[in-house]
Amino acid sequence: MSTSSVFDGSATAQRSASLELMKYEIRSLSNAHAPEASAVIQESFLGLAAAAWRPDARGVFLEATAPASLQNKLNTMTFAAGAFSDGGIAGVILMPSPNLLGALFVRPRWLLRGIGRALWESARAHIEARFSEVNTVELNATPYAVPFYKSIGFVPISSEFERDGQRAIRMACWLPARALGANVI
C-alpha cells in the first residue's frame, strides 16, 4: 500500500480565528511508525473517547494499541495511514480489512481542521481503487464520534449497544452512493 496526498488546512482553519494553520500530508504507516502512531491513538482515545468505555475495556484498548502491539500490525493492515505535519503525526486511520474501519484518531489539539475527513477520503480512495468489489465499509462508532461519521457519509445501522465494555453504534458507508448522487438517509 502506498498513498501520499497534501492537504492545506488553512481553508478549514478559517472557520475559527483561534485555530492554528497547519499543513499535513497523508502517508502510509508501516511497523516502524508504531511508537508514534500509538501515542497519537492513545492521546486521542484518553482525551476524547475513553469516557464511554468501562475501565477494564479501556485497559484492553490501551494494550491493543501499545507500541509493541502495533509493531506487529501496521504492515498487515489493508490500509494504515497518518496525517504527517511538521509537528509529527496529527491523526491515524487503520483499516484491518477492506470493509472495516478499525480506528480513526486525531490528536486533540488538531481537531476540526479536516484531518479526520482527509484520512477517511484517503482510505476510501484506496478501497475504491484496489477493492472494487467492496460496496460498504462498516465501523463501531463511539457515541462521541457519531456526528463526525455522519458528516463524512456514514449512517447508523444499529442503536447504541455495549460490547466488551465499549458503548458503540454500528455505522456503514455505502460507497457507490457518491457516484450515483444518492443522498445518505
Toward ligand COA, which CB reaches closer, 126 or 148? 148
Residue-wise DSSP of 28-52: E--GGGHHHHHHHHHHHIIIIIGGG
Q: Which residue is nearest to ligand COA (CB)?
A: 116
Smallest distance from the beta carbon of 125 to ligand COA, in angstroms?
15
Measure the CA–CA gap between 170 and 58, rounded to whole angstroms.
19
For ligand COA, the closer of residues 34 and 52 by Cβ is 52
Report in angstroms how near the CB of residue 153 gets to ligand COA at its nearest: 10
Nearest to 101 by CA among 65, 149, 60: 149
**Secondary structure of residue 103 in the 3-state scheme:** strand
Strand order in the sheet with 23-28: 4-8, 23-28, 79-85, 88-95, 103-106
CA distance 112 to 12: 8
Binding positions for ligand COA, rule: CB under 6 A:
44, 48-49, 104-106, 111-117, 141-142, 144-145, 147-148, 151-152
CB of 5 to ligand COA, least distance (A): 14
Nearer to ligand COA, 144 or 161 (CB): 144
Minimum Å gap between C-beta 100 and ligand COA is: 12
Nearer to ligand COA, 49 or 70 (CB): 49
